[in-house]
Amino acid sequence: NCIGRLCCFLVVIVRSLAVLMVVVLQGQWKYHKALSLLAFQSFGVVYGDLSTSPLYVFKSALSGLDKYSDEATVFGLLSLIFWTLTLIPLLKYVIIVLGADDNGEGGTFALYSLLCRHAKMSLLPNQQAADEELSTYYQPGVDRTAMSSPFKRFLEKHKKLRTCLLLFVLFGACMVIGDGVLTPTISVLAALSGLQDRGTGGLGNGWVVLIACVVLVGLFALQHRGTHRVAFVFAPIVVLWLLSIGVIGLYNIIHWNPRVCLALSPHYIVKFFKITGRDGWISLGGVLLAVTGTEAMFADLGHFTAASIRLAFVGVIYPCLVLQYMGQAAFLSKNMSDVHDSFYLSIPRTVFWPMFVLASLAAIVGSQSIISATFSIVKQCLSLGCFPRVKVVHTSRWIYGQIYIPEINWILMVLCLAVTVGFRDINIIGNAYGLACITVMFVTTWLMALVIIFVWKKNILLALSFLVFFGSIEGAYLSASFIKVPQGGWTPIALAFVFMFIMYVWHYGTRRKYLFDLQNKVSMKWILTLGPSLGIVRVPGIGLIYTELVTGVPAIFSHFVTNLPAFHQILVFVCVKSVPVPYVPVDERYLIGRIGPRQYRMYRCIVRYGYKDVQKDDENFENHLVMSIAKFIQMEAEEAASSGSYESSNEGRMAVIHTTDATGTGLIMRDSNEGTSLTRSSKSETLQSLQSIYEQESGGLSRRRVRFQVAEEEQINPQVRDELSDLLEAKEAGVAYIIGHSYVKARKNSNFLKSFAIDYAYSFLRKNCRGPSVTLHIPHISLIEVGMIYYV
């Protein structure tokens, strides 16, 4: 009867694989080929952690059940593992949560971003109504009509609730970073533990820890190669690993105890708790390790697609893991004394060493998924103003969103080595690891319930059902994990609070600085009283003044005007800001507007990025900016002509300018070696020489030099032609990047906490992170920094 049940289970798996194969072979070949390729790559990035869980699950779960060494206990644990694996990764994530992507992106911040757009819960300071017109702001097929409900109005009305939601999200993000520390440690140590049992005489624990440290250093040193390359190298290892543990699991079922198939019944869970009582409840912390790495399916969604992740999980991951856990349970039911290392001892001796090598490689791969997820989470925090500025490297030319952050990579490596050397015990690290993972899942469950209400616009009862069902399951595991806080569980909590403190201090200081700028804007009336010359000499050139304001003129501008005898002929106030969408299309990135009357030659440029966009060093930024302003001038003139007055004021109006289309600008762009320009450059020979030296020292990569000229078209308005000529003359004279070198200090009447946060914590972070000029890729040869003190 048991063999019959096993055969039925295998038939279901084979039929599922057959159906998937038929789907792949039918329809559009190119699509399915790409889907299969992405599914194959996902093994090396997404599923490495989840697939290595069999190395330590039974060992951790049975560590406190020494008094219950019988078959019923093992079958009860197997039933718990099977149903946990079915309900959380399969039902919750694969079927439900993966459908809540934010334009293809996943993770805690993707859910938060969806809520910010659909329920106005964002705390980002410089948001505009124009952001809602982005093509990526709303998902395709989603009803854009605003849903009005008392619950939604209640959340939007109370700022403290929105702040609590942000802190809740940050706590989940910090736990993901904690995962990034604990996953590599436990995976590598568990894989190398086989050396203590089957080596030549057996290696001591010290040697195993030393080898683990060497492996961890090598793993983090490989990260700069990028997820794309790592996935192709690691994916075959994980596939071979999964097939091998699946086959060994099937062998152990048949060889040791075919009756283990009965344990798939939930009846054995009830029986398990009747026998073990409180000890069984505490053992849930070990059972939880069977689903660690599940959150990576959602967090790494941006690297792949939901369809490819689902295909890989249902077709390979789930059946192979179930067979392996059943095989280990069958082995343990007859060999309870081998619980200390059940995985390696259940392997047939003839294939032990090949499996040991494969397990070690798979453990290294298992760390990759959470490392990639950590990079993504930190990048999202950075974009939303909740993390100090760090270097973000885009590692793939073809796959959008695959990044590498050097500072975070080396911090994770140091913390991993500290945990490995400090604990040296898989059970203690497992306690910490399980608590970090279940906390992230719990945060996702609560955010997902809000998404069901506000984004999917479903009945609140459906959201409550989702929250109660999965929240109760995860709450039980969370309560069991908290019992083990003194036995290592404090580690992820300590790490989370350290990173959360850094994030919140940075967010608080940045927001206070922005509010200072907002409250001390220069009045337009004062600028108008100065006249078109602004009371100073206007010299040829373009001055790009960087500010965080999207409206008005920052206080630093009055600082310039009152202290400098001359200023540039063309002034452009540039604001580089983040929008709560995963990415902004290039054609919708630039918003151009005018400040003051036309004769003042003052413009505003807002450059918008999503939280997954990587701000690259765009060598054509200056050219894009000139073309965008020229197109805006033409567009404004056409609208003025239709109204009958060119002098009509359009101040405050912003227009989206498509930078990839040069038509309609009234300009012709040529390479500098294509003839001569009509306007002679006013750059001195000394400055041109310095520019050449700077380009040589920067690696010999000079920027593309182009020259503009006004198109000879009779229909161009003479005033438009004059404005375009002034723009080109200024461009030929050179572009200067002006940025404030700010010092932020707390006011004298501030309380102790605020003074400490601003004067010490925020100041320390600003001094030790990347400068804004580096983050914005401003060339140093053209940079002007002006100091200013902010009393917040």
Q: Is the CB of residue 382 less than 8 Å from the CB of residue 501?
A: no
pTM: 0.81
Q: What is the pLDDT of residue 680?
A: 37
* Window from 68-82, 386-400, 618-632 with minimum mean pLDDT: 386-400
The strand pairing partners of 739, in sequence order, are 785
Whether residue 188 contacts residue 362, with contact meaning beta carbons closer than 8 Å, is answered with: no
At residue 675, the pLDDT reads: 43
Rounded CA-CA distance 575/609 in Å is 11
Interatomic CA distance for residues 378 and 362, integer angstroms: 25
Is it the case that residue 122 has pLDDT exceeding 50?
A: yes
The Cα 327–Cα 331 span in angstroms is 6
What's the confidence (pLDDT) of residue 371? Answer: 82
Residue 58: which residues within 8 A CB-CB, separation 6 or more?
77, 286, 325, 328, 329, 332, 339, 342, 343
pLDDT of residue 708: 58
pLDDT for the residue 20: 54
Task: Look at the chain and count its residues.
Answer: 792
Residues whose CB is less than 8 angstroms from the CB of residue 463 and which lie 6 or more positions away in sequence, other chains included: 449, 450, 452, 453
Highest average pLDDT, of 114-118, 311-315, 632-636, 660-664, comes from: 311-315
Q: What is the pLDDT, as a whole number, of residue 770?
A: 85
- The confidence score (pLDDT) of residue 700 equals 44
CA distance to 39, 66, 610, 647, per residue, from 229 (Å): 15, 45, 25, 57
pLDDT for residue 679 is more than 50 = no
User: Rounded mean pLDDT of the chain?
Assistant: 81
Which residues are bridge partners to 59 per DSSP?
Answer: none
Specify the pLDDT at position 147: 61
- CA dihedral 464→81→475→274, nearest 10 degrees, is 110
Higher pLDDT, 714 or 300: 300
- Quickly tell me which residue has 């050179």 as its tokens: 734
**Each residue's pLDDT tens digit, 699-711:** 444 455 556 566 6
pLDDT tens digit string along 483-512?
Answer: 888 888 899 999 999 999 999 899 899 889
- What sign results for the dihedral spanned by CA atoms 286, 290, 291, 296? positive
Confidence at 344, pLDDT banded by 50, 70, 90: confident
pLDDT of residue 12: 58
Least confident of 145-154, 489-498, 567-576, 772-781: 145-154
* Residue 775 or residue 698, greater confidence: 775
Provide the pLDDT for residue 209.
87
Distance CA 290, CA 318 (A): 11
Terminal alpha carbon distance of the chain:
75
C-alpha R_g of the chain: 30
Do the beta carbons of residue 50 and residue 293 sit within 8 Å? yes
Answer yes or no: are the C-beta atoms of 569 and 552 closer than 8 Å: no
How far apart, in whole angstroms, are the C-alpha atoms of residue 607 and residue 591? 7
- High-pLDDT (> 70) share of the chain, %: 82
Give how far the C-alpha of residue 17 lies from the chain's centroid of Cα atoms, to the nearest Å. Answer: 32
The stretch 435-450 carries a mean pLDDT of 92
- Residue-by-residue DSSP string for 422-466: HH--HHHHHHHHHHHHHHHHHHHHHHHHHHHHHTS---HHHHHHH
Instruction: With cut-offs at 50, 70 and 90, classify the pLDDT of residue 31.
Output: low
Query: How much is the pLDDT for 712?
Result: 62
Whether pLDDT at 146 is above 90:
no
Q: How many CA atoms lie within 13 A of 110 on its CB side?
A: 27
Q: What mean pLDDT comes out for the span 656-667?
A: 65
Return the pLDDT at 566. 81
Pairing of strands 654-657, 403-404: unpaired
Helices (H), 384-425: 406-423
Torsion, Cα 383 387 392 394, to 10 degrees, reads -40
Tokens (6 digits) for 31: 């699509």
Query: What confidence score (pLDDT) does residue 701 get?
Result: 45
The DSSP annotation for 508-562 comes to HHHHHHHHHHHHTPBPHHHHHHHTTTTTSEEEEEEEEEE-S-SSSB-HHHHHHHH
Amino acid letter, residue 458: K
Q: What is the DSSP string of 755-776?
A: HIIIIIIIHHHHHHS--HHHHT
pLDDT above 60 (res 94): yes
Question: Pick from 385, 442, 598, 362: which is nearest to 108 by CA?
Answer: 442
Q: Has residue 614 got a pLDDT over 80? A: no
More confident site: 141 or 503: 503
Q: Are 447 and 169 in contact (CB under 8 A)?
A: yes
Can you give the pLDDT at residue 776? 81
Confidence of residue 320 (pLDDT cuts 50, 70, 90): very high
pLDDT score at 313: 92
CB 285 within 8 A of CB 60: yes
* Residue/partner pairs of 138-141 with CB below 8 Å, 24 or more apart: 139/102, 139/103
Give the H or E element holding residue 165: helix 159-192
Task: List domains and CATH numbers for the chain.
Answer: 1-114+160-383+403-481 (1.20.1740.10), 507-642+652-661+717-791 (no CATH)
DSSP notation for 627-642: HHHHHHHHHHHHHHHH
Q: What is the reported pLDDT for 277? A: 87
Range from 72-86, 213-227, 363-377, 484-498 that averages highest in pLDDT: 72-86
For residue 483, give both structure tokens. Answer: 């019992």
Residues 6+ apart with CB under 8 A from 33: none
Match 């049992």 to its residue by tokens. Answer: 197
- Residue 24, pLDDT > 60, answer no
For residue 682, name the pLDDT band (cuts at 50, 70, 90): very low
**Residues 21 and 314: beta-carbon distance below 8 Å:** no
Q: Cα(44)–Cα(236) distance, rounded to whole angstroms?
A: 7
Contact present, 484 and 435 (Cβ < 8 Å) = yes
720, pLDDT greater than 80: yes
